[in-house]
Structure 1
Amino acid sequence: MNGTWTVPGYTEVRELGSGGSGRVVLAVHDGTGTAVAVKYLSGRLREDPAFVGEFRAEARLLGGLRTPYVVGLYEYVEAPGGAAIVMELVDGISLRALLKRSGRADAEAALVVLKGSLLGLAEAHRAGVVHRDYKPENVLVAADGSSKLVDFGIAAGRGTTPGVAGTPAYMAPEQWQGRPASPAADVYAATATFFECLTGRKPYDGENFAELAVQHIEAPVPETEAPEPVRPLIRRGLAKQPEQRPENAEAFVAELEGVALAAYGPQWEERRQRKLAALAALLPLLFPSATAAAQGTTAVASTTLGGASGWAPGRGGLLAAGLALVLGTVLLFTTDAIGGTPGGVSALSAFATTSAAPPGPGSPTGTAGPGTAPR
């Protein structure tokens, strides 16, 4: 389609986005007609063992997270011509896209979006992983109003100190200071995103990195700008010291549910999920299902991990749709912020489809033979 290396066994439909670190495409698995998202590492970065290692680590991480609230891995492929992550497709749009068109969300709708993506984050925290880049671009809102967390490109192990990394508007004070990565930093970023949903602006608006750093480290938490019922969540989540915040995403979800139930009643989640679905329905052209060229009706593919490599679609009869337009800009890798460390990279002498495992040192395990395609 574009003269560059592509994963064997798939036909590209269209490019969803590209950048200096690579590209994301909508593709169809030739054997089943299932649509997938394929994230390719750029040729320039393939020459750097540290970036290849980070790319592999992202695949291992996705493969180890078994939750409907994180975009799932189908397979990871390396070849002499390239490296790619084949992922689940979500027919949805980014929270950023919704905010651009609505300006802000009411508190109940914002709570629904926060909860879904926090549940994905909680699974990562249980696996000992810190996302480090929670922001509106990395939250997908599906057509039914549910949400998923995406882009683990700069995720790190809990307690590691790989350097300052993240998106400045959402970085916790300790991230600015280069302190060890912690789930509490992700809670801070999620709260900053929640604040933006509620108010239409970021918590702090410094014009440069230095101003933002000072504001995040020293400025008062702007809780009074949020609706009164949810101010405790803003106050706790944006606390300057990590020990003053909920310790991880699971604890934050518990606090969120308590606040929401007290303020909005037992039906708050169902009621506002319907509203989110209605908002998303106003933006049909942003949904890849409007233009996806996948043929036939297939089930959403499921991944077989931890033994034999590969995946096989089921027989449920759901139309596999395309990934949100946001993946063109979101999943394209904040690699300029990666504090990667060199690691061993095996010779790319043959195609290797990898069974992902939780993040860890060294190469992935469970490689298949040359030219292996999904089953």
Structure 2
Amino acid sequence: MLWGFATLKCPARELFHRFSVQVLDRDLDDACPQVLSNIVWSFGTLGYFDDELVDKISSHVLVRGLDGFKPMEVSSMIWGMAALGHTNERLFEKVSEHVMSTGLEGFNAPKISIIAWSFARARFQAEDLFSLIEEFVVEKGMSSFNSQNIACILWAFAVFGRMTDDLLACAEEQIWSVGFSGFSDQSFVDLLWAFAASDLTGTCTHSGEDTVKLAAAYLRKRSIRSFSPKQLSTMAWAFARLGQFHDQAFYSLEQEILRRDISEFDTSEMTFIANAFRAYRNSRNIANMCNLSGIGIRLLSRLDAEESSATTVECNTPESVSDCELWPEETECEVFKKGEVFKAKVVEKHHKKCASVRSERLDACIPFQAC
């Protein structure tokens, strides 16, 4: 049931709360791995954090072990834990040991990238696991990785300062073959953050160009109206950090930021933006190109009018909280034997709120039945 609501991103906080109350009163021994992973994934997808419920499932898994979990169930569960900010070190250590014991057999591109992302989001260092992932990815290549998978992998390795030339070259091979059109806003920003945090612009293996320069040029084609203030400031920081002062990229960023109310940006975001555009203007001064470009002048004047941006503040790396999603098609919800967990009237009430959710899918995901 929860899987259906989470799949459609349908708000159902009351339903999830009632579910949690019922689970806390029950023994989890009858819940199969798929049910446990779907519960955590569903709560994580809708951002409904319940300390007691998550702690109970974590404790149960630690005692029960992961031997009966499929790769999809492991990745879905640990993704949900990370998305909810649940950082039980013993659980992450157990997942790391389990995944390593499999040699990544059965783990495809989405599952591998989600595992890496989850550990990075939780800031749980697992050096042996990441070494295994890197070795696996470099050997197999990234031809099966989509844009989100690539961004998740590079972001995760950059968080721990583990980006290597081999991994980067492997990712670039795929990026240059498919381009940036498939990247979501967050994936695009995560990718730029990963390059900048690692002080890498690319391996320069493609006609002397590098990947970050390609990304900057791509902004000429892409609308950035849907980007959040944090994403805009992170892009500006990334381009400036790497010395990629592409006129069109900074022009696009300036126009979008000027279009918005400055109150949308917090102090740190305005500081990163101001420093990035000052660096851009300085680069143009050095190149004696100020007379050719007025990019950044209006924006800096506007930011300087704000007390928070009047003085240049020393900034290092903006915090990156990636929002990598685990899509419904990457989880499973098989048909279980029907069981009565919620009263019919509760289900009916939420059916009306989300009429597009098919009743057979909701009934299929009622937990604590044989898998």
TM exceeds 0.5? Answer: no
- The answer to which structure, 1 or 2, has the higher relative contact order (CA under 8 A, 6+ apart) is 1
More helix by percentage: 2
Q: Which has the higher strand share?
A: 1
Task: From the CA coordinates, give the structure whose radius of gyration is larger.
Answer: 2
Give the TM-score taking structure 1 as reference length.
Answer: 0.25
Structure-2-length-normalised TM-score: 0.26
